A and B are shown apart, each in its own frame.
Chain A
Amino acid sequence: MPFAPLLRSFMLCCLVVLSALALAATQAQAQAQTPAAMPAQGERLAAGLERFKADSFADTEAAVAAIAAAGSAQGVAILSALADRRLFAGAAGVFYRDAAGQAFDALTGQPATIPADAAMVRLNNRLRNVVQAALGTMTLLSPDPAQRVRAAEAVFRSRDASALVTIEAALTSEQNPRVRRAFEEARAAILLASADAPEELLIAAARRIAEAGDNDAISLLRQFAGQTTGGLKAVIDQGIVSIEQAQRIRAWGQTLWFGISLGSVLLLAAIGLAITFGVMGVINMAHGEMVMIGAYVTFVVQELFRNHAPHLLDWSLPLAIPLAFITAGLVGIAIERGVIRFLYGRPLETLLATFGISLVLQQAIRTWFGPTNREVSAPSYMAGSFEFVGLQITYGRLWIVVFTLCVFAALLLVLKATPLGLQMRAVTQNRRMASAMGIRTRFVDAMTFGLGSGIAGVAGVALSQIDNVSPNLGQSYIIDSFMVVVFGGVGNLWGTLVAAFTLGIANKLLEPFAGAVLGKIIILVLLILFIQKRPRGLFALKGRAVEQ
């Protein structure tokens, strides 16, 4: 429908002219010289610009009014140049520089050089306000809805009474609901500030502002709460209370979201360990290094893309996922075959050996890639944020939460619905019986360990987006991962899920009171105490499995 925007811009043009007229009517001086017939935009602009040359504050004010009345896009540039002391007037004409320093002729809008005799147009404080107000009004009528909203918000904050007429006029034709709301709020703010309006109008305005419910609204209401009496005061007080309540709920929601986000990171880091430690009972201190390997695979893949196919850079992450899985999985299988298989049934020795392996892997990465952080950039679809019922949600975090849940679901599926998963569970539950049934237990051990390590590698891909890719990446997650698995109950994937989100949310709930580090310490201490109470975790295995 190309017709609708056309119609709208036409109507807007009419509006510009109309409201500019209305505004001009308030500026008697400027009005005195305007011809009765509606002049073309250019002529009015020229007439306005002419007055800048006089170098008197009164003439400058008239010029501002005239340019505002002309209402061209050029006018916005001129007025903002004036406000920023970038406007120069001389015998040859009026010129301005844009923010980059490029000079333009104010009348034609063409690039020009500023003649030597042109002097900067001076402003005083009162004039500066006039310019700001005029700018606000002009952008109120901008064809871009986002700009209109911004202008309305500016008016809401400045509560400039002169914008009221324009807003009223704009409201009659505004279609966009978001812009309408912003305009109505701005109008209410002006009304409330003017105070000489009839009481019912003021009450309606206060209600309207209370509905807006943001920080600006509450500060506005607080400002007027002390000055008013009677019914209006009651409405304002009630408005403040309701906004505070809404803000509190929103803060909780935000905390909850941060908690879920942190929980998903914890889950991602711990989920591979839930297999190697939880299912197999292997204390894998090198688990964090599998995560690190995944992150470095992401880095290498991205470097390759950057050097050979920069236009496909956004595809580097999806490609890194399977590669990280395979790389980390193979390293895991090598560790299992080379070291861990000799140590089954000796958990403490396994712990020491895998810690040694983690040192070697860290040092290997440090030797190859250097000890400094490596840059892994976010693909375009993970950049930016959006607002959801008042919560700021970044795409990166959202993707990680979604990704974590996908990995979790995939892992459950592998364990519950594939022959390999069946064999894994059989071997961990009763090795000898499984062996008697013809399952190659050694092979299954290697595969299980490979799966756990591979998942850790996949976690590394996601964590490379939010953490520094350095040789120490794994170390920072290893203790947290163990905490999550132990808290959730060993050998229980769902327990791991619940534990990760519980810890994540608890951490974020504590943060505002205790600070990030102390919050973490409190969680650790609570966890230590919890393990004393329930040594087998939240969801302990029952029956025979316990004794193994």
Chain B
Amino acid sequence: MLTARFFRMIEGRGLVFLGIMALVALLVPLCNLYVPPGNPFHVSNGTVVLLGKYLCYAMFAVALDLVWGYCGILSLGHGAFFALGGYAMGMYLMRQIGTRGVYAHPVLPDFMVFLNYKDLPLTWWGFQHFPYAMLMVVLVPGLLAFVFGWLAFRSRVTGVYLSIMTQALTYALWLSFFRNDMGFGGNNGLTDFKDILGFNVQAQGTRAGLFIITCMALALTFIIARMIVASTYGKVLVAIRDGESRTRFLGYRVEHHKLLVWVVSAMMAGVAGALYVPQVGIINPSEFHPANSIEAVVWVALGGRGTLVGAALGAVVVNWLKTVFTTGWLAPYWLFALGGLFVLVTLAMPKGLIGVWEDVRARLANRKAIADAKASGAGSSDVRSPGPQVPR
């Protein structure tokens, strides 16, 4: 009964997605840890990290799709929440280094010793405790999103204006985190991590473990997002997307609805960032760069806005393309490809890969229906082609 409701809520596409996630979470660490190198089924350590990175991006894309695809809030600064989550995790990892740093200071991270800090800034207090750091991973992006969203939605800043404001937000953070005075490592950011919860970050087993956790977090994020959009609340969100004024006139507190989904999405992005940092081993201010946030938007657009699965798919596809392009002789053409992708997606496939897939399926089903009709009642002319079903 409950499982039936769950399946209905997740939808067929989502089930396929969750199935693939379970498979990946199982197979990739297995093939990495237990298949010897040289075997064609072996997955190298580098690939595990790379895939883990893609999945973090996918999680980030799901968070972005939740606000953009279902509530019409195009955030060009979502990278800020991702990076803040990453910094919170980075701070925990920095505190874990302890006396193993270059300067071997028991409390202060290396860069603080280098910059002549006398004692730990208030912002760093408590980050040696894992639970506190994890709380901050969701709390800091959530709080920033709450303040920003509360101000923005209450004064009815919408559409493009809101997008530009979010961009300004991440731009301001980008500039701030470059400053050494901020106490977050300035230009170099946080790096040289040693271990997480006592496990060596570089170790193969830890990497595999982090990969599995990332898969689970992505699945969980997806399920939460699905629960939100399948609920009545989700229907109101879609109503806001399609006609904000009408929804308001129907008596819904639009700004409250928007604020909730906005904060939830920011927290998801923060978690994605937090999982990203131990896997790639560094967090620096460039994560705040506005271009990163816009790039994330194109992942969602390519995969299919408002489908959640599509967002994750788009993130993986674009980043895979990026890896392919930037590691070979194609490197100078990556920006051409990415730029072209932006134009292509907006002009030719506004519903993204998922939309194209649905179109193809609808057309195939249509053709099959006609063929069936022809086969069953030859000559009868009352069966007409229903035409391609373009979902609106």
Chain A contact residues, CB within 8 Å of chain B: 283, 285, 339, 342-343, 347-353, 355-364, 366-367, 475, 479, 482-483, 486, 517-518, 520-521, 524-525, 527-529, 531-533, 535
Contacts and interface: CB of A to CB of B under 8 A. Distances in A.
A272 B183 CA distance: 39
Given A348-B163, A353-B346, A363 B336 contact: yes
Nearest to A339: B343
A546 to B, nearest CB: 12
29 contacts: A283-B160, A339-B347, A342-B347, A348-B160, A348-B163, A349-B346, A349-B350, A350-B346, A351-B160, A352-B346, A353-B346, A356-B339, A356-B346, A364-B336, A479-B168, A482-B167, A482-B168, A483-B164, A517-B175, A517-B176, A521-B172, A524-B168, A528-B169, A529-B151, A531-B155, A531-B165, A532-B152, A533-B155, A535-B155
B129 interface: no
Contacts of A356: 298, 338-343, 346
Contacts of B151: 528-529, 532
B103 interface: no
A532 B160 contact: no
Interface of B: 74, 76, 148, 151-152, 154-157, 159-161, 163-165, 167-169, 171-172, 175-176, 178-179, 181, 290-291, 294, 297-298, 301, 332-333, 335-336, 338-343, 345-347, 350
A358 B171 contact: no
Q: Is the interface of A mostly helix, strand, loop or mixed?
A: helix
Nearest to B291: A475
B339 A360 contact: yes
B301 A352 contact: yes
Given A352-B345, A518-B179, 12 more contacts: A285-B294, A351-B76, A356-B339, A359-B336, A479-B168, A482-B167, A518-B181, A521-B172, A525-B172, A527-B168, A531-B155, A531-B165
A482 B290 CA distance: 13
Contacts of B339: 355-361, 363
Contacts of B342: 352-353, 355-357, 359
A361 B339 CA distance: 9
A517 B285 CA distance: 14
A347 B158 CA distance: 12
Contact of B74 (A348, A521, A524): A348
B157 A531 contact: yes
Contacts of B76: 351
Contacts of B169: 524, 528
Nearest to A490: B161
A285 B297 CA distance: 14
Of A356, A517, A524, which is in contact with the most chain B CB atoms at under 10 Å from its CB?
A356
A521 B174 CA distance: 9
Nearest to A547: B245
Given A531-B161, A532-B152, A532-B157, A343 B346 contact: yes
A525 B147 CA distance: 12
B265 to A, nearest CB: 17
